[in-house]
Amino acid sequence: MVHISKNKFFIILFAVLLLIFLLIYNIFSNLTVSVSAGISNWGLKFNEEGKAPIANADAEFLKKYNAYYVGNQDDKYIYLTFDAGFENGNTPGILDTLKKHDVKSAFFLVGNYLEKEPELVKRMVEEGHIVGNHTYNHPDMSLISNLDSFKKELVSLEELYKEIIGEEMPKYYRPPQGKFNEANLKMANELGYQTIFWSLAYVDWYTQDQPTKEYAFNKLIPRIHPGAVVLLHSTSDTNEEILDELLSRWKDLGYTFKTLDDLTAGNI
């Protein structure tokens, strides 16, 4: 029978535990790409002020399907986007502010919005903004596994857009609620779409529980970063209130504003 001293026992135990820790760390460090193969909620982790967050599907993986969440992190560019499922009375003021600052944005809209607010949609396009596809019915797209059903959600909105604007809809798609899987990315790409996630957002969508101006700035100023794809909701009273100052403060930090066409240039 082999006798092991207490010191050797604890050394061996420590080595085994260290090995287990390293194996677990290796598994989780590679989770960024593997998690995107299944149903997933878009997620971000901010580690450092002024730096792009780590997403649960990295930029290289997304690029295989013409999908994006952040731009070049060497350039102090911001790609401003808004999501809207309905009109809450804030969009005219938001458009006025964007015009004042000569900032072009993208608005990801659903069928309900286009049906009820065609004049606002026309104004967005006339003033140089992109109107993107947020699906017709705003479902959980990660639960849609066949191409025909997936296509219907996008094409139905395209057709309505063409009725209103008289032109083809730009091929930018944002998954409702950020719910996606790898099959979705592939289907969107096959339909000619580029999927646009985001690298900066905050909780601004509860219309009956709006964040304060201070809370908004505490999220949107320290976390801004080169190549940021910013998601705001145009249904937010707070966003309409702060937008003028927010754009000025971002500009004071040395940022300029680009469009999704700039973000995806050369990758269409």
Characterize the bridge pairing of strands 179-180 and 40-41.
Answer: antiparallel
Give Cβ neighbours of residue 33 (< 8 Å, ≥ 6 apart). Answer: 57, 58, 61
Measured CA to CA, the distance from residue 191 to residue 168 in angstroms comes to: 14
Catalytic residue among 58, 83, 102, 262: 83
DSSP character at residue 210: P
Q: What is the DSSP code (8-state) at residue 160?
A: H
Catalytic option among 134, 233, 237, 252: 233
Backbone angles phi, psi at 138, to 5 degrees: 60, 50
Closest CA to 121 of 156, 230, 133: 133
Q: Which residues contact 39 (CB under 8 A, 6 or more apart)?
A: 142, 143, 179, 181
Catalytic annotation present for 233: yes
83 catalytic, yes or no? yes
Decide if 258 contacts 106 (C-beta within 8 A).
Answer: no
Catalytic residues, which ones? 83, 233
